[in-house]
C-alpha cells in the first residue's frame, strides 16, 4: 500500500484501535504450491495487544480461524508437506483492514481550486491498516494445542463481535450470544472443520486518506459536500475529513 506522508498514521495505539473497530481482515499469502500462488481470505480477527499477548508477541498478535477446505489452507499444508499440531510459515503474510466508510470524491466539492484554475480531478477517500507478520497454523482440533487455541479463539471472537460490534451488553440491551448457547457436540463438529490462525505482528502501517492535503477551502467543500450527501457514510466521512484536517493542520504548526 502506498502511504504518502500526508496520509500516514504512525501512532501504533490508533492503528491497533482501528483493527479492534474493523476486525474483518483480508489475509493474503504467497505460497508455492500446486494451487494459485496468491490467496486471499476475508476473516474476522481477534487482536491481542502487546501487553495482553505476552513476551512472545512484543507487537501484539492476531487470531482467527478459517475452513480446512479453504484453498489457502490447502496451499499452506502442501507447502509445509506435513501436518503437525502447530506449523509455521517461513515467509510473512499480509492482513489488510479497511475502514467502515469510503466514498468517491467529486471535483465539484473543491470550491476553492475548481473555480480558480479548474485543475482538479476526482479521487476516493478511505482508511486502511495493514499488518505484516509470521503465521502459525493450528490444524487438528483433537490435539491439546489446537483444541485449546480454537476454543479460546471462538469464545473471544464471539464475545468481541457480540458486545463491541453489535452492542449486545445486557441490561437495557439484548444479552450477547455465547458459544455455550450452542450444543457442545455441534461446536466440536465445527471445530474439526476449521483451522486456527495466529499471526505474530512484525510491522503495522496505516493511512487515512481524507482530503487533508487539499487547500482549506477545498477541504471545507468536501466536508460540507459529504454532510449534504447525508446518510451514515456521508456524515461519517464529513466528520473524518474535519478531524483529519485538524490533525494535519496541527502537525504543520509544530513542524
DSSP-derived 3-state class of residue 114: helix
Nearby residues of 212 by Cβ (< 8 Å), 6 or more positions away: 6, 7, 219, 241, 244, 245, 247, 248
**pLDDT, tens only, 156-198:** 999 999 999 999 999 999 999 999 999 999 999 999 999 999 9
What pLDDT does 84 receive?
A: 57
**pLDDT, tens only, 94-111:** 999 999 999 999 999 999
Please list the ranges in the chain whose pLDDT falls under 50: none
Nearby residues of 34 by Cβ (< 8 Å), 6 or more positions away: 78
What pLDDT does 252 receive?
A: 85
Cell for 118? 479548474
> What superfamily in CATH does domain 8-108+124-212 come from?
Electron Transport, Fmn-binding Protein; Chain A (2.30.110.10)
Spatial distance between the Cα atoms of 158 and 161, rounded to a whole number of angstroms: 5
What pLDDT does 81 receive?
A: 67
Spatial distance between the Cα atoms of 143 and 149, rounded to a whole number of angstroms: 10
Q: Are 65 and 153 in contact (CB under 8 A)?
A: yes
What pLDDT does 79 receive?
A: 82
Helix 144-160 and helix 184-192, axial crossing angle in degrees, nearest 10: 110
DSSP-derived 3-state class of residue 188: helix
Amino acid at each position: 500500500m502506498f502511504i504518502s506522508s500526508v496520509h500516514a498514521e504512525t501512532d501504533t495505539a490508533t492503528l491497533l484501535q482501528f483493527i479492534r473497530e474493523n476486525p474483518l481482515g483480508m489475509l493474503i499469502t504467497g505460497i508455492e504450491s500446486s494451487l494459485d500462488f496468491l490467496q486471499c481470505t476475508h476473516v474476522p480477527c481477534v487482536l491481542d495487544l502487546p501487553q495482553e499477548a505476552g513476551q512472545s508477541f512484543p507487537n501484539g498478535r492476531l487470531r482467527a480461524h478459517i475452513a480446512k477446505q479453504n484453498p489457502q489452507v490447502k496451499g499452506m499444508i502442501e507447502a509445509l508437506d506435513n501436518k503437525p499440531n502447530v506449523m509455521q510459515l517461513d515467509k510473512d503474510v499480509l492482513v489488510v483492514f479497511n475502514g467502515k466508510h469510503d466514498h468517491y470524491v467529486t471535483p465539484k466539492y473543491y470550491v476553492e481550486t475548481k473555480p480558480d484554475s479548474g485543475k482538479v480531478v476526482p479521487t476516493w477517500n478511505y482508511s486502511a491498516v495493514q499488518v505484516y507478520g509470521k503465521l502459525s497454523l493450528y490444524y487438528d482440533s483433537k490435539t491439546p494445542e489446537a483444541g485449546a487455541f480454537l476454543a479460546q479463539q471462538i469464545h473471544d471472537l464471539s464475545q468481541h463481535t457480540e458486545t463491541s460490534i453489535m452492542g449486545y451488553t445486557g441490561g437495557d440491551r439484548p444479552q450477547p450470544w455465547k458459544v455455550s448457547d450452542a450444543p457442545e457436540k455441534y461446536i466440536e463438529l465445527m471445530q474439526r472443520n476449521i483451522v486456527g490462525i495466529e499471526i505474530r505482528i512484525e510491522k503495522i502501517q496505516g493511512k487515512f486518506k481524507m482530503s487533508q492535503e487539499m487547500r482549506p477551502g477545498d477541504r471545507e467543500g468536501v466536508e460540507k459536500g459529504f454532510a449534504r450527501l447525508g446518510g451514515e457514510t456521508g456524515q461519517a466521512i464529513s466528520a473524518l475529513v474535519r478531524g483529519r484536517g485538524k490533525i494535519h493542520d496541527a502537525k504543520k504548526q509544530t513542524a
